[in-house]
A and B are shown apart, each in its own frame.
Chain A
């Protein structure tokens, strides 16, 4: 691997940038591997990287039906945070945030982690109780949380309508200063390049169409580029989790739903914090290119279409204008959708499936980008040791039948309600 540094950049500038080589190879699939990871999004690539790096397993392939990062990794709104209430979620996402903090150095690739702060607005006395309770729980878990008054918010975010006459009056907000954004494509590329350097084969345009199971154990995969023999398979396919698990006869507590996002035309810096409002189902940040990146609710019906319908776009924009009236002059540039693997309790499934040698990391709902490093790290651990790590011990598939659901929102078994 060609290391990136200020010196190599300077040498490149002098030489007309002709010396750069490909960031990762494009090998033909071999006939067998020790481990095959299905899905070349951030989670699959991170799994492969940590298998090679932490566990010395280098006969690893990542099979991606399209191109790496072309799924939800390249479609999400890039917010990272660890401000979860329930202990297993709090510890897991905090581990992830700590990995984000050092990831550019770890991968020798700038993933542009920007700790600009994530602010959850409080609009009502009930919101206030919930925010203070969660803030205190976070601090007890050693996670940064800070309550801001309305005046402090008005000073920090001048475009936000903090007046008492606002359509959704702002009473305060809970800030996680270390939360922020990360460049999504760079995460896929950085993990791919680092995994490739450790010997991992990244194989694009290779769809898995069958999982061979003999006497309750995985023996190989059928793909559009031939059969591959392997005894260990990790599934990391986000919205397609149900379809791929079904190839091994496993049914999951998951429904696939579409989530949309949209961007405005680019403008000069106007918003340096990620702002979210649970009450109006809205969040916004400004990308490094200058676009305002916005999102809100699911479309609320099962979908594999990777696109949604107009009512959600309208409600997101209406919420935006209620909170930031001055953004009404902007034009919307693009909107798109991704297929979410919504679980029955809103928390992920990272662990073994009831077929020997088969594991998954999935059920990320609409919040799995922030989990990418930790998900890959614990998934690799589970594949390498055939056991759960304390960090994913609560995220097993069995928790549903055992009544140990992790229902952060208290919404019950309705996947579209989380």
Chain B
């Protein structure tokens, strides 16, 4: 069972959250080349190890945040509000 640290509510059971996938993707400009759009929509690094991913605290504060989690072990490394660095320092 994963205990997920919501940056706003603290540690909560995984059943309160919904998964949102890879948090490192950056949306291309609207008029970017179609191949860049295809890469953004479909291709993933899918790392075996630490993965930065979006989660949604649906049964809590209803916020999206970023979680760094190891995909080999499910160990949780860090979490932060979207747009803030994962190591806890302020930008």
Contact = CB atoms under 8 A, between A and B. Distances in A.
B and A form one assembly: yes
Interface of A: 240, 242-243, 251-256, 300-305, 309-311, 344, 400-401, 413-416
Q: Which 6 A-B pairs have the closest CB atoms?
A: A242-B46, A253-B42, A401-B38, A400-B42, A251-B43, A304-B48
Interface in B4-20: 14-15, 18-19
Given A302-B51, A401-B35, A309 B42 contact: no
B64 to A, nearest CB: 15
A218 B14 CA distance: 43
A242 B19 contact: no
B21 A400 contact: no
Contact of B46 (A302, A309, A310): A302
Contacts of B27: none
A310 B48 contact: no
A157 to B, nearest CB: 31
B79 to A, nearest CB: 14
A300 B71 CA distance: 12
A402 to B, nearest CB: 9
Contact of B42 (A240, A256, A304, A344): A344
A301 B19 CA distance: 6
A303 B49 CA distance: 9
Given A301-B19, A301-B69, A413 B42 contact: yes
Interface residues of B, number: 26
14 contacts: A243-B46, A251-B39, A255-B21, A255-B44, A301-B69, A302-B22, A304-B72, A305-B71, A311-B14, A401-B38, A401-B42, A414-B21, A415-B44, A416-B21
B62 interface: no
Contacts of B87: none
Contacts of A414: 21
Given A400-B38, A416-B21, A254 B44 contact: yes
Contacts of A300: 18-19
A311 B72 contact: no
B53 A301 contact: yes
Interface in B28-50: 34-35, 38-39, 41-46, 48
A309 B45 contact: no
From A302, A303, A344, A414, name the one whose CB has the most chain B CB atoms within 10 angstroms.
Answer: A302
B21 A309 contact: no
Interface string B67-91: 0010111100000000000000000
A309 B43 contact: no
A51 B69 CA distance: 41
B61 interface: no
A304 B44 contact: no
B44 A253 contact: yes
B19 A305 contact: no
Contacts of B73: 305
B42 A311 contact: no
B44 A309 contact: no
Given A242-B44, A251-B44, A303 B74 contact: yes
A256 B71 CA distance: 9
B62 to A, nearest CB: 18
Contacts of A344: 41-42
Contacts of B53: 301-302
A243 B48 contact: yes
A310 B44 CA distance: 27
Contacts of B35: 401
Contact of A303 (B1, B21, B71): B71
B2 interface: yes
Contact of A310 (B1, B19, B43): B1
Given A243-B48, A251-B43, A255-B44, A302 B38 contact: no
A242 B72 CA distance: 14
Contacts of B21: 255, 302, 414-416
Nearest to A306: B72
A410 to B, nearest CB: 16
A413 B48 contact: no
A243 B72 CA distance: 13
Nearest to A253: B42
Given A243-B48, A302-B51, A311 B74 contact: no
